[in-house]
Structure 1
Amino acid sequence: MDIILKQGVKGLGDKNDVVTVKPGYARNYLIPQGLAMAASASNVKAVEETKRQQARKLAKEIEDAQELGNQLENLTLEIRTKAGESGKIFGAVTPIQIAEAIKEKGFEVDRRNITLPNDLKMLGEYTVSVYLHKEVQPEIKLNVVEE
């Protein structure tokens, strides 16, 4: 019996896959649990249209992320903070401070998507990675200077 999976099933397939299973498995488990639906001609057409729409949406998201990533890669941020005589800053530079500095430059980035190389506790130049999409992760130059 051919069915269309509504969500991923371990050992069977991913969401929207058309798979062949034994009729009893489909009727008694997959369909009643809401994991699958019968693979009628109209259901297959609907799933194919959904896949096309999702592919277009994903392509648009990647394109937007790449555009923003290209703009961010040309960006150099400067964070001013208090520091001791040895160059060690009081506290540390956090993703929140970096996100605010990016926002001041006119770009919107979620602080949870900023990856720091390690704790930024010294004055100097650093490279910070920003996760925009799994395929787009630009690196931004960051200068930590004394106030």
Structure 2
Amino acid sequence: MQVILLERIARLGQMGDVVKVKDGFARNFLLPQGKALRATDANKAKFEGQRAELEARNLERKSEAGAVHEKLDGTSYIVIRSAGETGQLYGSVSSRDIAEALAENGFKVARNQVNLMSPIKVIGLHDVIVQLHPEVESTIQINVARSNDEAERQSKGEDLTKRETFELPELPPEDEEGFEMDGDASEE
């Protein structure tokens, strides 16, 4: 299905581009979210009539996102979770948890704006990208720890995960004669 994009969409195109997408993606995501219109002659004419208004609205949203970016970029947030001695969490920290931590600090961010490749499953410092607008993204640091004291120590650079070290016994020197084969290998 061909659609006209009403805003910039990553890996798809800019506002006003006519792009071909799979029918399900258009019907289930782009059209209901108001991010695109079907590419009919009537909709193309309608879009051209509203283009200036849509660009102004997009510019306004981008400037709002830029203001939030100035306050948010480079900040650090602490998330307390229970974990084992090796630092493995008994659960995980998802994009929902990060969005809630940001909301507690006065930032209104939806969980789908938090770009987390996979849930965080170990304690430590993790860099996370927050997509405030299709053209504006901020990087924040999530400090996952078992307590506030540990979070403070982690932020100073201390590694709190317990690692076990094993000493391997020394192996006797190998005898090269023990590796010779009886007979020719090509006979088989």
TM-score (norm 1): 0.67
2:115 is aligned with 1:136 = no
2:110 matched residue in structure 1: 110
- Code of the residue aligned with 2:40 in structure 1: it is L
Greater than 6 Å deviation, 4+ residue runs: none
TM-aligned CA distance change 1:84 to 1:53, over 3 Å: same
1:87, distance to aligned residue in structure 2 (A)? 1.2
Give the match for residue 183 of structure 2.
none
Shift in Å, 1:126: 0.6
Task: Give 1:35 shift.
Answer: 2.3
- Provide, for residues 30-50 of structure 1, a one-character-per-residue CA deviation record: whole Å limited to 9, x for no partner: xxxx9225xxxxx7xx86652
Q: Quick one: structure 1 residues 47 and 77, their matched pair in 2 at CA, closer, same or farther if it must change by over 3 Å?
A: closer
Which structure has greater strand proportion? 1
Q: Deviations over 1:35-92 (max 9, x none)?
A: 225xxxxx7xx86652221221111111111111121114211000001111111111
Count the aligned residue pairs.
Answer: 113
- Give the gaps of 5 or more residues in structure 2: 5-16, 20-38, 148-188
Taking only aligned residues, the RMSD between alpha carbons, in angstroms, comes to 2.6
- 1:88–1:123 Cα contact (<8 Å) kept: yes
Q: Distance in 2 between matches of 1:52 and 1:86?
A: 56
Alignment of 1:1-147 (within 5 A): 8=4, 14=18, 35-37=40-42, 50-147=50-147
Higher relative contact order (CA 8 A, sep 6+): 1
Q: Is the 8 A contact 2:95 2:119 kept in 1?
A: no
**Unaligned regions of 5+ residues in structure 1, if any?**
1-6, 16-33, 38-42
TM-score w.r.t. length of structure 2:
0.53
Residue identity matched to 2:82: K
Distance in 1 (CA, whole Å) between partners of 2:143 and 2:110 is 20
